[in-house]
Amino acid sequence: MKLVSSILLIFVSLMLIGCSSGRSNIPAFTKHVDVFGIHIYATASAPDNKMLHAANVLAQYLDNDKDGVPDNQLVVDALKEKKAVLIMTKDAGEEWELIQEDLHYMFPDGVYHDNFANEANPNAVAEGKFDGLWEETLHLITRHGYGNAYSSVFGYSKGTEVANAMDLARGGHFEKIPEKYPEDAWYSYYDESCGYGCQIDEYIYWALTSILGVQDLPGREEQIITEWRLNSREKVLENDPAIFALLTNPDYKFPTVIPDGDYNAKTFAIENCLLEVKVQENNYIPPKGRYQATVSFITECQAPGGEAIKTAFTISENSEYKGKKLCLVTSTDEKNTIHSTAGDRVWLTTEPMIGRTGSVFPKIVKIEPIDN
């Protein structure tokens, strides 16, 4: 079965190469893992063991007592409602540079956070080292889970409880990065690309992981002192009681143990999929209207909010675009589905319409021309 699946994936991949926009080096997500309904996608270059480690870390953050049930269902529901996605590439190099600008086209109605395989350390706890996934996976959970489940407490804007605590930690309220933080500030993040909401994101990460005891690993204090000074549970409790109270409040069910990647309540499996990210400046949108077409092939991969459908069409007669090959990528749900197979004659449209079988053909998200 695995051999057949592998052959099928290779076959589909080869077909889809013909639907590229002339750049064969555009990466694609080819692997998928589902964790409590939250999706992780990875490129082929991300090692399987690192992707599964990300799944286990995400699961342990959400189910810290490892009984197979999320500790805070409200947070999980918020993540699912926001269609939160964790994405993994090999590193922050060329592949990531190629893929990141077009992610909002891949997940147009969802949210996502990146993490890199080379930062993952599956043996971190046993070796007394740091695991980069402790940070990146947590960002997805706190920003889009807690931030939406408890918006007045953990929301990412001025006046929430966590924002007020952060203003104290930074020595004042700063919408923009100050030239220099006050001397008594214990949180001083100078990254100009990190706005006020992002600063809250980083603040929760620093505080929680310090409370969980992984910011006082050997040599760690020296590495982070210019950004965060409270690198232990005791220091957070003594110097920042506001954030300590929020993150240890049993009502919110934050984790009390750092994930070690050993999640035995469930075994996660990697599923093959193919989600391509295209170069948007090469997109081709035909004039508004309807175009009779023949379906060349369809591929599907589970995606937030429904099935991600990629369909290749050849425009038929009665069109100045006759013979033009197009690729369509869209997302469907229960009210917006495609029921077609290769060889079907359909109407291709730039606006929603009712298909000949009674199905609803969604508005085109993007179409790319393929010259013969």
- CA 251 – CA 108 distance, rounded (Å): 33
For residue 71 the two structure tokens come to 């500790």
For residue 347 the two structure tokens come to 């109407």
Query: What is the mean pLDDT, run by run of 10 residues, along the chain of 372 residues?
Result: 36 31 58 94 94 97 97 97 93 86 68 93 92 96 97 95 98 94 96 91 98 94 96 98 98 97 94 61 49 61 49 59 55 46 61 44 44 38
For residue 203, the one-letter residue type is: Y
**pLDDT tens sequence across 11-45:** 333 333 222 333 345 677 889 999 999 999 999 99
Q: Give residues with Cβ within 8 angstroms of 1, minimum separation 6.
A: none
Pairing of strands 111-116, 271-276: unpaired
pLDDT score, position 253:
98
Per-residue 3-state assignment (H helix, E strand, C coil) for 322-340: CCCEEEEEEECECCECCCC
Own/partner pairs for 9-13, CB < 8 Å, 24+ apart?
9/272, 9/274, 12/274, 12/297, 12/299, 13/274
Q: Is 367 helix (H, G, I), strand (E, B) or coil?
A: strand
pLDDT score, position 326:
58
Q: Which of 5, 59, 3 is CA-nearest to residue 301? A: 5
pLDDT score, position 101:
66
Q: Which of 201, 191, 186, 197 is CA-nearest to residue 231? A: 186
- CA 344 – CA 359 distance, rounded (Å): 14
Q: By CB neighbour count within 10 A (0-12 exposed, 13-18 middle, 19+ buried), where does 193 fall? A: exposed
For residue 228 the two structure tokens come to 């965060």
198 sits in the region (left: phi over 0; alpha: psi -120 to 50; else beta) called alpha
Domain range summary for the chain, segments of one domain joined by +: 27-150+264-277, 154-251, 281-370
Quick check: pTM over 0.95?
no
pLDDT score, position 18:
28
pLDDT score, position 95:
87
